[in-house]
Chain A
Amino acid sequence: MNTIDELKRRLEALTPISIDIVDESALHARHPGARAGGGHYRLTIVSERFRGAGRVARHRMVFDAVGDLMQGRIHALPMNALTPEEAGKPTNKESR
C-alpha cells in the first residue's frame, strides 16, 4: 500500500468527514534535514472529533492515529486539523 493510502487508512480512526493529502516530497528532496529519508505530506483533515480540542491536542490526535509511520515513511506532516464549521462544511447533524 502506498504511503498516502496507508495514511488515509489510519486516519479513518478519527472518523473524518474529509481528508486531503498532498505529496510534497519532491519539494524537499535532498535537503540536509531530510537525510534520513521519508516523505513530506501536507494534510487537511476535517472531523467532528476536533471540536473542543486545542491545536496541540488535534495534532496529537492525528499523530496518534498515524502511529509509527512518523518513525519511518513520513518525515514531515504539516497539517490543518479542522472541525466542520472551521472548514465551512455542513455537519452530519445539520438539518434544514
Chain B
Amino acid sequence: MNVQEFIREQVTTHPIVLFMKGTPQFPQCGFSAAVVQVLKQSGVTQVAAMNVLESDELRQGIKEYSNWPTIPQLYINGEFVGGCDIVKEMFENGELQQMLADAGVAGEA
C-alpha cells in the first residue's frame, strides 16, 4: 500500500481524521493544538489522529493528497474540511458543530 492509499483508507474508515504535528495529548505545534482544542469543545471524543512528525512520507503525502501545503488538516467522513484558520472560523460561527452533527459524529458540546 502506498502512502496515498494509506491516507485514503484512513480518511474513509474513520469519521474524523486529524493530520497533525504531535499527538492530541502532546501537540507539537500551536495550530495543531488549536484544532484539537476546537474538536474537544465541539464534543468530539473520537479522533483518529495521525502524527506527521513520525513519518516524512506521511507529512509529504498528506500535502499531495489534499493539494494543501500546510498541517494540520481535518477530514470528516472522508472530506477535507480545512486547516486551523478554517476549522476555528467554522467553530466560531457554529458550522463545524452542524457539520459534525450532520455527520453523526458528535453530540452537543
Contacts and interface: CB of A to CB of B under 8 A. Distances in A.
Contacts of B31: 76, 78
Interface residues of B, number: 21
B69 interface: yes
* Listed residue (B22, B31, B85) with the most chain A CB atoms within 10 angstroms of its CB: B85
Interface string A32-70: 111000000000000000000001100110010000001
A55 B86 contact: yes
A59 B29 contact: no
Contact of A56 (B29, B70, B82): B82
B67 A76 contact: no
Interface in A2-31: 28, 31
Contacts, number: 45
Contacts of A60: 67-68
B69 A32 contact: no
Sort chain A's interface into a size bin.
10 to 19
B68 A31 contact: no
B24 interface: no
Nearest to B34: A78
B72 to A, nearest CB: 10
A18 to B, nearest CB: 18
Interface in B64-109: 67-70, 80-86, 89-90
Interface of A: 28, 31-34, 55-56, 59-60, 63, 70-71, 76-80
14 contacts: A32-B22, A32-B53, A33-B29, A33-B53, A55-B85, A55-B89, A59-B83, A60-B67, A63-B68, A70-B70, A76-B31, A76-B70, A78-B84, A79-B85
Given A33-B21, A56-B86, 11 more contacts: A31-B28, A32-B53, A55-B89, A55-B90, A56-B81, A59-B83, A60-B68, A63-B69, A70-B70, A78-B31, A79-B85
